[in-house]
Amino acid sequence: MMFVQYPSLSSDERYRYLAPLELNLCCQSPDVSLISQHQFESFVIEQRPSGPQLTLNSGNESYFFDAISGVPQIETTDEARLAYAKQIATHLDAGPIQSLGKVDVDQWSIIPGVKKYAPFDVFELNDAEKNHLYFSQTTGEIVQQVSFNERTWGWIGAVVHWIYPTIIRSNSELWVQLVIWLSIVSLFMVVVGAILGVVRLRHKGNWRTSPYRGRFLWHHYTSLFAGVLMLMWLFSGLMSMYPWGLMEGRSFANEKQNLRGPGFSLTPQLTTFFEKLDSLNLPEKTVEVRGATVAGYLNLTATNAIGKTTLIQRVPIDPFAGSEFPTVTQLATRMRPDVGTLSVDLLNKGDRYYYDHHNKRAFPVYRIIYEDGERIYLDGLSLDIAAVFDGGRKTARWLYLGLHRGDFFPSLNSGLVWYLSWGGLLLIMTFAVGIGCWLSIRVWQRLLSKRRKTTVKEQNQFLRV
């Protein structure tokens, strides 16, 4: 688990798979006659085998259009998904692809964020990592990527650690209750063992050294130390499930809506804007153009294959928007008009709450701290909400992430120091558990041996009688 996490399609991997945009002859304003009453929050343009594809996002719904003609994309087909997989292979120079067939849900697509796009077409790339790519049959998008290492080590790492066998994880309620109650039972057993271990250090009201010798002495002392680690990991693992609604936090839906504003519809102004997208001065090897509404403006960014994002322009689309784009301080007030703002800072590296660990965070970000202690982090370019922390989430950051991963100090939560320190602690705990298992086996062997001897003695006495 320290070295190989449960597989997911990261932003960097997705950008690497995208082909460079070709916006010549593009674009026509999308035909939204069937959804003309919708207000859209954002749009994305990416390259597909048939040409640039425009995606309009409204709430949890996405609508796909051929960007050149503006007509809605037809329902995804097997041929379209195969062509997309071949485009990725050609772009990465990965050679021919192999179709692994269709799956509903399997071990690597069982998590809710991926499962909601089921069923899938799965293809294997002929690259060094033998990556499996999962394409949603519903949207045609790539939603999961699993390398050979992740598939191999995942079975003895993430799947075991999180109790993720498909037959269990497919039933979310069963899985949640199983993890919660196994954690509680394990905590009880460790607490009992810790109490017994401490009691053995007390004699007639005074502290003493361990009364054991040899391997029992090693087990006593190492288990006392490892018991602290086990209590910490079991408790934080329990907290990771947010049991009974603890630490869940609120939705921040109002803040998100206040930041976005009313969204956009296809006004004549935006129709002209879409039709002139090919005249934008995009950075070299741009793979994605994204527009999102921020305070009555359309915030336009471009991202290349290595994940570098550039701000292209901001277009006022709300007639009531000011002539100048609001400052971050003004955006902070706009999001929470009833709460005072304590500070606004631009961060180029992590702080106590927003930081890199196994997954990279986007930087720079604006950190907004309100007078009630809540925090909102805005992406430095797109000004999307990157993270939020209210009282519940701040508590979870320490009781879950802090205790479970040792994320107490941003400068020490990754890299060689983190691997050596936590690797050493894991080895100590493994040693203590190993001695305990061995001693248990020896005790049972002696009990069974004693029982056999007693049985033989009783048989001999019966024969003599």
Question: What predicted TM-score, i.e. pTM, was given to this entire model?
Answer: 0.87
| pLDDT of res. 207 | 79
| pLDDT of res. 319 | 73
* CB within 8 Å of 391: residues ≥ 6 apart: 249, 373, 374
* Separation CA 63–CA 138 (nearest Å): 12
- For strands 375-379 and 385-389, give the pairing: antiparallel
Sheet holding 132-136, edge to edge: 98-103, 120-124, 132-136, 142-146
Six-digit token pair at 3? Answer: 């070295």
Mean pLDDT per 10-residue segment, the chain (465 residues):
87 91 83 78 90 87 88 82 92 90 94 92 93 93 94 92 91 93 93 88 79 83 86 92 90 92 78 81 91 89 92 84 88 95 95 87 94 96 94 94 83 76 84 83 84 68 56
| pLDDT of res. 279 | 82
* CB within 8 Å of 348: residues ≥ 6 apart: 363, 364
| pLDDT of res. 463 | 52
Q: Residue type for 186, please?
A: S
Report the candidate in 210, 190, 321 with the shortest Cα–Cα distance to residue 264: 321
For 445, other C-beta atoms within 10 Å of its C-beta total: 10
DSSP β-bridge partners for residue 291: 43, 300
Q: What is the DSSP string of 181-230?
A: HHHHHHHHHHHHHHHHHHHTTEETTEE---S--THHHHHHHHHHHHHHHH
